[in-house]
Amino acid sequence: MEQLRKFARYFKPYKWMILAGIFFILCSMSFGLFVPYMVGQAIDDLRVGVTREKIIFYPLVILGINIASGIFLFLQRRVLINTSRHIEFDMRQDFYAALVGQSLGYFQNNRVGDLMARATNDLAAVRQIVGPMILYSFQAIFALAISLPIMLNISVKLTLLLLIPMPLVSLTVKYLGDQIHRRFEKIQGFFSDITARAQENLTGVRVIRAYAQEDAEIEKFQELNREYAHRNLQLVKYSAAMRPLLFFFIGLGFVIIVAVGVPMAVRGEITAGDFTAFMLYLQRMIWYLIALGYVVNLYQRGTASLKRFNEILEAEPSITDEPGVTEKPPIRGSIEFRGLNFAYNGKPVLQDIDLEIESGKTVALVGRTGSGKSTLVSLIPRLIEAPGDMVLVDGVPVRQYPLAQLRSSIGFVPQETFLFSDTLAANIAFGVDPEKPASEADRAMTVEKAAAVAGLADDVEEFPGKYEQLVGERGITLSGGQKQRTAIARAVMREPRILILDDSLSAVDTYTEEKILHHLRDVRSGRTTLIVSHRISTIRDADLICVLDHGRIIERGTHDQLIALGGEYADLYERQLLEDELEATE
């Protein structure tokens, strides 16, 4: 019930549509259930005497009643099914917004395939609660509410006899409903496993082919698919058993009515028309009671999926705007790490980091893999959260900025490049503030200029579609270097106050790197730039170079100062010079 209470908020915007749909159900049922009464009246009246007028009157009246019932049947389905689609739309929007608002850690702990299964299969099952379940539930309620008084009026004795099989009907619905709920919840969880497996295989198709694991992965998927089919077949046993059992137990009512009602009609205790009408009402009631079994099935499936859906909406993002946070003056770009300590799951990653970066300066971070460089720069846009007020921008702790303002002032090129399945131009312009001039002619930085800065313009000229070239999922049609340069162009296109390049030139050759760095010198002017790199050539002209080791800054200074120091940086520089010489002699 708690799940349904939370679900009820989606009904509020459409309460009048739902009420109109319920009214149409009442009208349709009222007309439809008037037909048995008219049939009974026709039989008794025609037994008295058959006339031309009666033969014309009764069929026309019954036809008119059926037409009216059909019109309201159309209206009820049109209104309620449409409403269910609107509610599905709202739920999908909330689901997507809840996911987009989560921090990076959430997606490290939850598989994409599982989230996709909840967004598709589970949401479709929940929608059934709104449309078909409401429709059949109220049809059954109105059928009983209208039919029972009429049947009691025909014969109290026969109506009471119908109650004999009802406890069996209730027990059947209760037992099978519980079984369906438990099994469907497990099936939906298992479907998430299958979706996750398929998503990972499709994303990693290059690796699978490179290691010739196609057959092995097909076999593993087949095992999962077979188990999923087996679990569904177990569920089908219970779903399929419900309707026949309900037919059987409710059908016992026919046996009782025929055994008792026919002698009553023969003895004249009820008329032939009343007995016929009673049987027709019973037939209608049986259909709607069977529909209740279907409703129970939908309810159990829907609530199982609703629980999984609400788990996503109830997950609180770990990184959000602080309470009462307000818009600050435009960011200039000075950055400070003040006594910063940071740990992942209790394991120290950064220790005693004290660093001030003036606005417009370029700072480079170098060090061995795992020394904490990427973690350090990820703290600035709050992709991961620093403890306390240890990270400041323009002298203000980053937590005191609205996330939208903070991140809109930062151009971030992550270590792992991600491109959307769209055109090259759309990927480059992805981060552009929509409130800035819409026309590229009115912007200082256009897609073409951003591509030129990133050293991508020459490559684009070779593409058949130029900037409208589709790059494929995750940019699969581009090389590693082209993907990195597209990501750089995306960051530059924003004209940010703070530019962060996290090892973003690792996949390009030395010549291309030099060309990109040459263009970036103009872009970096007046902007604060942080560069994470393993290549000395990338960062040698930085205003300040910091060397990290085991989460600490062990050296800092300009390139010349660090070389003269003869420490870790100088050792790294010597090794790279030797590697370059070896490559040149090959």
302 vs 438, which has greater pLDDT?
A: 302
Instruction: Locate 458 and state its tokens.
Output: 């020459």
Report pLDDT digits (tens) over 304-316: 777 777 777 777 7
Q: What is the pLDDT of residue 108?
A: 67
Q: What is the pLDDT of residue 316?
A: 76
Domains of the chain: 2-313 (1.20.1560.10), 329-409+496-586 (3.40.50.300), 417-494 (3.40.50.300)
Instruction: Locate 241 and state its tokens.
Output: 């058993």
- What average pLDDT does the chain have? 77
pLDDT surpasses 50 at 174 = yes
Q: Which of 23-32, 256-265, 338-347 has the highest mean pLDDT?
A: 23-32
Q: What is the pLDDT of residue 213?
A: 67
Residue 198 φ/ψ, nearest 5 degrees: -65, -40
| Mean pLDDT across 347-368 | 84
Task: Give the H or E element holding residue 86.
Answer: helix 52-100
Q: What is the pLDDT of residue 204?
A: 67
Q: What is the pLDDT of residue 4?
A: 65
Q: What is the pLDDT of residue 440?
A: 45
d(CA 393, CA 382) in angstroms, rounded, equals 11
Report pLDDT digits (tens) over 84-109: 888 888 888 888 887 777 776 777 67
Q: What is the pLDDT of residue 438?
A: 43
pLDDT surpasses 60 at 436 = no
| Mean pLDDT across 405-420 | 80
pLDDT level of residue 441 (50, 70, 90 thresholds): very low
Report pLDDT digits (tens) over 469-491: 777 777 777 777 777 778 888 88
Contact (CB, 8 A) for 175 and 302: no
Q: What is the pLDDT of residue 584?
A: 54
pLDDT level of residue 536 (50, 70, 90 thresholds): confident
User: Which of helix, strand or coil describes residue 171?
Assistant: helix
560 vs 294, which has greater pLDDT?
A: 560
> Of all residues in the chain, what percent carry a pLDDT higher than 70?
86
Report pLDDT digits (tens) over 448-470: 888 777 777 777 777 787 777 77
Residue 355 φ/ψ, nearest 5 degrees: -155, 130
Q: H/E/C letters for each residue in 230-299?
A: HHHHHHHHHHHHHHHHHHHHHHHHHHHHHHHHHHHHHCCCCCHHHHHHHHHHHHHHHHHHHHHHHHHHHH
For residue 222, give Cα distances in angstroms to 118, 197, 450.
22, 11, 47
> Which range, of 8-17, 206-215, 376-385, 570-579, averages the lowest pLDDT?
206-215
CA angle at 110 for the pair 178 and 224, rounded to the nearest 5°: 60
Task: Give the H or E element holding residue 512.
Answer: helix 510-524
Q: Which of 56-70, 170-184, 240-254 has the highest mean pLDDT?
A: 56-70
pLDDT level of residue 437 (50, 70, 90 thresholds): very low
pLDDT surpasses 60 at 224 = yes
pLDDT level of residue 444 (50, 70, 90 thresholds): low
| Mean pLDDT across 180-201 | 72
> Of all residues in the chain, what percent carry a pLDDT higher than 90?
0
Dihedral sign for Cα 394, 397, 398, 402, please: negative
pLDDT level of residue 411 (50, 70, 90 thresholds): confident
pLDDT surpasses 60 at 546 = yes
pLDDT level of residue 245 (50, 70, 90 thresholds): confident
pLDDT surpasses 80 at 531 = yes
Hey, how many other C-beta atoms are within 10 angstroms of the C-beta on 65?
18
Q: What is the pLDDT of residue 206?
A: 62
> Which range, of 26-40, 194-208, 219-233, 401-415, averages the lowest pLDDT?
194-208
